[in-house]
Amino acid sequence: MDESNTQEQTSLPLIGDDAPKFTVNTTQGKINFPDDYNGKWVILFSHPADFTPVCTTEFMTFANMQEEFRELNTELIGLSIDSNFSHIAWLRTIKEKMEYKGMKNVRVGFPVIEDLKMEVAKKYGMIQPNASTTQAVRATFIIDPHAKIRAILYYPQSTGRNMDEIKRMIIAMQKTDKEHIATPANWNPGEDVIIPPAGDYDTAEQRAESTEEGTYCLDWFICFKKESGK
Protein backbone atom coordinates (compact mmCIF):
# COMPACT_ATOMS: atom_id res chain seq x y z
CA MET A 1 0.00 0.00 0.00
CA ASP A 2 1.50 3.32 -1.01
CA GLU A 3 1.77 6.29 1.31
CA SER A 4 -0.91 8.38 -0.44
CA ASN A 5 -3.47 5.59 -0.13
CA THR A 6 -2.64 5.10 3.53
CA GLN A 7 -3.13 8.82 4.15
CA GLU A 8 -6.51 8.73 2.40
CA GLN A 9 -7.66 5.82 4.52
CA THR A 10 -6.52 7.15 7.87
CA SER A 11 -7.48 10.83 7.52
CA LEU A 12 -10.47 11.83 9.56
CA PRO A 13 -12.35 15.02 10.32
CA LEU A 14 -11.78 16.58 13.72
CA ILE A 15 -14.11 17.88 16.39
CA GLY A 16 -15.46 21.24 15.22
CA ASP A 17 -14.99 20.44 11.51
CA ASP A 18 -17.82 20.36 9.01
CA ALA A 19 -19.03 16.79 8.64
CA PRO A 20 -18.00 15.50 5.19
CA LYS A 21 -20.87 15.41 2.73
CA PHE A 22 -22.07 12.29 0.93
CA THR A 23 -24.92 10.94 -1.17
CA VAL A 24 -25.43 7.20 -0.76
CA ASN A 25 -27.77 4.26 -1.12
CA THR A 26 -29.00 2.77 2.14
CA THR A 27 -31.46 0.19 3.43
CA GLN A 28 -33.95 3.06 3.71
CA GLY A 29 -33.32 4.48 0.23
CA LYS A 30 -31.00 7.22 -0.95
CA ILE A 31 -29.88 9.87 1.53
CA ASN A 32 -28.09 13.13 0.93
CA PHE A 33 -26.08 14.10 3.98
CA PRO A 34 -26.24 16.55 5.66
CA ASP A 35 -29.09 18.18 3.72
CA ASP A 36 -31.61 15.46 4.58
CA TYR A 37 -30.83 15.92 8.27
CA ASN A 38 -31.02 19.68 8.50
CA GLY A 39 -31.75 20.79 12.07
CA LYS A 40 -31.14 17.36 13.60
CA TRP A 41 -28.40 15.71 15.59
CA VAL A 42 -26.96 12.62 13.93
CA ILE A 43 -25.10 9.56 15.20
CA LEU A 44 -23.10 8.19 12.26
CA PHE A 45 -21.49 4.89 13.22
CA SER A 46 -19.54 2.23 11.37
CA HIS A 47 -19.25 -1.48 12.03
CA PRO A 48 -16.74 -4.00 10.65
CA ALA A 49 -19.16 -6.28 8.80
CA ASP A 50 -22.67 -7.68 8.56
CA PHE A 51 -23.39 -11.02 10.21
CA THR A 52 -20.83 -10.49 12.97
CA PRO A 53 -21.65 -11.11 16.65
CA VAL A 54 -20.68 -7.81 18.30
CA CYS A 55 -22.26 -5.77 15.52
CA THR A 56 -25.49 -7.73 15.83
CA THR A 57 -25.80 -6.85 19.52
CA GLU A 58 -25.01 -3.20 18.74
CA PHE A 59 -27.62 -2.95 16.01
CA MET A 60 -30.27 -4.54 18.19
CA THR A 61 -29.48 -2.09 20.98
CA PHE A 62 -29.38 0.98 18.72
CA ALA A 63 -32.67 -0.06 17.08
CA ASN A 64 -34.26 -0.65 20.48
CA MET A 65 -33.22 2.87 21.54
CA GLN A 66 -34.09 4.62 18.27
CA GLU A 67 -37.18 6.34 19.68
CA GLU A 68 -35.21 7.48 22.74
CA PHE A 69 -32.73 9.14 20.42
CA ARG A 70 -35.51 10.67 18.32
CA GLU A 71 -36.93 12.25 21.46
CA LEU A 72 -33.56 14.03 21.62
CA ASN A 73 -33.93 15.20 17.98
CA THR A 74 -31.27 12.66 17.03
CA GLU A 75 -31.18 10.26 14.08
CA LEU A 76 -29.05 7.15 13.56
CA ILE A 77 -27.09 6.19 10.44
CA GLY A 78 -25.10 2.95 10.25
CA LEU A 79 -22.36 1.99 7.79
CA SER A 80 -20.30 -1.01 6.77
CA ILE A 81 -18.42 -1.98 3.66
CA ASP A 82 -21.13 -4.38 2.54
CA SER A 83 -23.83 -4.31 -0.13
CA ASN A 84 -27.44 -3.39 0.44
CA PHE A 85 -28.34 -7.02 -0.26
CA SER A 86 -26.09 -8.14 2.59
CA HIS A 87 -27.47 -5.43 4.88
CA ILE A 88 -31.07 -6.41 4.15
CA ALA A 89 -30.39 -10.13 4.67
CA TRP A 90 -28.66 -9.41 7.97
CA LEU A 91 -31.38 -7.06 9.25
CA ARG A 92 -34.02 -9.65 8.36
CA THR A 93 -32.07 -12.26 10.31
CA ILE A 94 -31.92 -9.91 13.30
CA LYS A 95 -35.69 -9.43 13.22
CA GLU A 96 -36.62 -13.04 12.63
CA LYS A 97 -34.06 -14.98 14.67
CA MET A 98 -32.16 -12.88 17.19
CA GLU A 99 -33.02 -12.53 20.87
CA TYR A 100 -30.64 -10.68 23.20
CA LYS A 101 -31.19 -9.21 26.68
CA GLY A 102 -34.95 -9.44 26.29
CA MET A 103 -34.90 -7.83 22.85
CA LYS A 104 -36.48 -9.85 20.05
CA ASN A 105 -38.36 -9.20 16.81
CA VAL A 106 -36.20 -6.09 16.55
CA ARG A 107 -36.74 -4.10 13.37
CA VAL A 108 -33.76 -1.91 12.43
CA GLY A 109 -35.55 1.17 11.15
CA PHE A 110 -32.58 3.50 10.66
CA PRO A 111 -30.63 3.56 7.37
CA VAL A 112 -27.52 1.45 6.89
CA ILE A 113 -25.16 2.79 4.22
CA GLU A 114 -23.97 0.64 1.35
CA ASP A 115 -20.29 1.55 1.08
CA LEU A 116 -18.66 -1.09 -1.11
CA LYS A 117 -16.20 1.44 -2.57
CA MET A 118 -15.34 2.72 0.94
CA GLU A 119 -16.02 6.31 -0.15
CA VAL A 120 -17.77 7.40 3.06
CA ALA A 121 -15.55 5.26 5.28
CA LYS A 122 -12.44 6.95 3.87
CA LYS A 123 -13.90 10.45 4.28
CA TYR A 124 -14.50 9.74 7.96
CA GLY A 125 -11.29 7.83 8.69
CA MET A 126 -13.22 4.64 9.39
CA ILE A 127 -10.66 2.49 7.58
CA GLN A 128 -7.46 2.09 9.60
CA PRO A 129 -4.90 -0.15 7.89
CA ASN A 130 -3.25 -1.41 11.06
CA ALA A 131 -6.63 -2.77 12.16
CA SER A 132 -7.91 -3.93 8.77
CA THR A 133 -7.64 -2.79 5.17
CA THR A 134 -11.03 -4.23 4.24
CA GLN A 135 -13.29 -3.41 7.19
CA ALA A 136 -14.44 -0.25 8.90
CA VAL A 137 -13.46 0.07 12.54
CA ARG A 138 -16.08 0.63 15.23
CA ALA A 139 -16.25 4.43 14.88
CA THR A 140 -18.95 6.81 16.10
CA PHE A 141 -19.40 10.45 15.05
CA ILE A 142 -21.87 12.71 16.83
CA ILE A 143 -22.87 15.54 14.48
CA ASP A 144 -24.91 18.56 15.54
CA PRO A 145 -27.80 20.33 13.73
CA HIS A 146 -25.29 22.64 12.01
CA ALA A 147 -23.48 19.60 10.52
CA LYS A 148 -20.47 20.15 12.80
CA ILE A 149 -18.68 17.17 14.29
CA ARG A 150 -19.01 17.40 18.06
CA ALA A 151 -17.65 14.08 19.32
CA ILE A 152 -15.69 11.12 17.97
CA LEU A 153 -15.50 7.69 19.59
CA TYR A 154 -13.39 4.76 18.41
CA TYR A 155 -13.73 1.25 19.77
CA PRO A 156 -11.66 -1.83 18.86
CA GLN A 157 -13.45 -4.46 16.82
CA SER A 158 -13.65 -6.78 19.82
CA THR A 159 -15.47 -4.30 22.09
CA GLY A 160 -19.10 -3.28 21.71
CA ARG A 161 -20.14 0.33 22.19
CA ASN A 162 -21.92 1.72 25.25
CA MET A 163 -25.09 3.24 23.80
CA ASP A 164 -26.13 4.72 27.15
CA GLU A 165 -22.88 6.72 27.14
CA ILE A 166 -23.56 7.95 23.61
CA LYS A 167 -27.03 9.05 24.70
CA ARG A 168 -25.59 10.73 27.81
CA MET A 169 -23.12 12.64 25.64
CA ILE A 170 -25.89 13.98 23.42
CA ILE A 171 -27.97 15.07 26.41
CA ALA A 172 -24.90 16.78 27.90
CA MET A 173 -23.97 18.59 24.67
CA GLN A 174 -27.52 19.76 24.09
CA LYS A 175 -27.67 21.09 27.64
CA THR A 176 -24.32 22.85 27.42
CA ASP A 177 -25.31 24.45 24.11
CA LYS A 178 -28.57 25.73 25.56
CA GLU A 179 -27.39 26.83 29.01
CA HIS A 180 -23.73 27.71 28.36
CA ILE A 181 -22.48 25.48 31.17
CA ALA A 182 -20.23 22.42 31.36
CA THR A 183 -20.79 18.97 32.83
CA PRO A 184 -18.39 17.40 35.35
CA ALA A 185 -16.97 13.88 35.38
CA ASN A 186 -19.57 11.10 35.40
CA TRP A 187 -22.37 13.64 35.07
CA ASN A 188 -25.88 12.33 34.55
CA PRO A 189 -29.07 14.30 33.79
CA GLY A 190 -30.42 16.01 36.91
CA GLU A 191 -27.01 16.41 38.56
CA ASP A 192 -25.26 19.72 39.25
CA VAL A 193 -23.41 21.42 36.41
CA ILE A 194 -20.33 23.65 36.17
CA ILE A 195 -20.69 27.36 35.42
CA PRO A 196 -18.03 29.09 33.29
CA PRO A 197 -14.84 29.93 35.24
CA ALA A 198 -14.02 33.49 36.22
CA GLY A 199 -12.25 35.41 33.48
CA ASP A 200 -10.71 38.17 35.61
CA TYR A 201 -9.35 38.79 39.11
CA ASP A 202 -12.35 40.69 40.52
CA THR A 203 -14.80 38.06 39.34
CA ALA A 204 -12.59 35.37 40.86
CA GLU A 205 -12.69 37.13 44.23
CA GLN A 206 -16.45 37.51 44.04
CA ARG A 207 -16.83 33.86 43.16
CA ALA A 208 -14.66 32.76 46.08
CA GLU A 209 -16.75 34.80 48.54
CA SER A 210 -20.14 34.34 46.91
CA THR A 211 -23.07 32.70 48.64
CA GLU A 212 -25.40 33.24 45.69
CA GLU A 213 -28.44 31.00 45.98
CA GLY A 214 -28.34 28.03 43.65
CA THR A 215 -24.55 28.02 43.21
CA TYR A 216 -21.55 26.88 45.23
CA CYS A 217 -17.79 26.94 44.66
CA LEU A 218 -15.00 24.56 45.56
CA ASP A 219 -12.58 27.36 44.76
CA TRP A 220 -12.63 30.51 42.62
CA PHE A 221 -12.12 28.56 39.38
CA ILE A 222 -14.62 25.73 39.93
CA CYS A 223 -18.21 26.63 40.71
CA PHE A 224 -21.40 24.64 40.32
CA LYS A 225 -25.04 25.40 39.67
CA LYS A 226 -27.47 23.26 41.64
CA GLU A 227 -29.84 21.25 39.48
CA SER A 228 -31.72 19.15 42.01
CA GLY A 229 -32.62 21.75 44.64
CA LYS A 230 -30.34 20.15 47.23
List the catalytic residues.
55
Consecutive H or E run containing 67:
helix 66-70
Cα dist from 117 to 43, 55, 66, 132, whole Å: 21, 20, 28, 15
Structural contact between residues 175 and 225, judged by C-beta atoms closer than 8 angstroms: no
Which residues make Cβ contacts (< 8 Å) with residue 228, sequence separation at least 6? 190, 191, 192
Consecutive H or E run containing 62:
helix 53-64
207 labelled ligand-binding: no
- Let me know how many helices (H) and strands (E) the chain has, helices first: 7, 12
Please tell me the distance from the alpha carbon of residue 69 to that of residue 195, in angstroms, as a whole number: 26
Helix pair angle (163-179, 53-64), 10° resolution: 40
Could you list the residues known to form a binding site for substrate, using ranges.
138
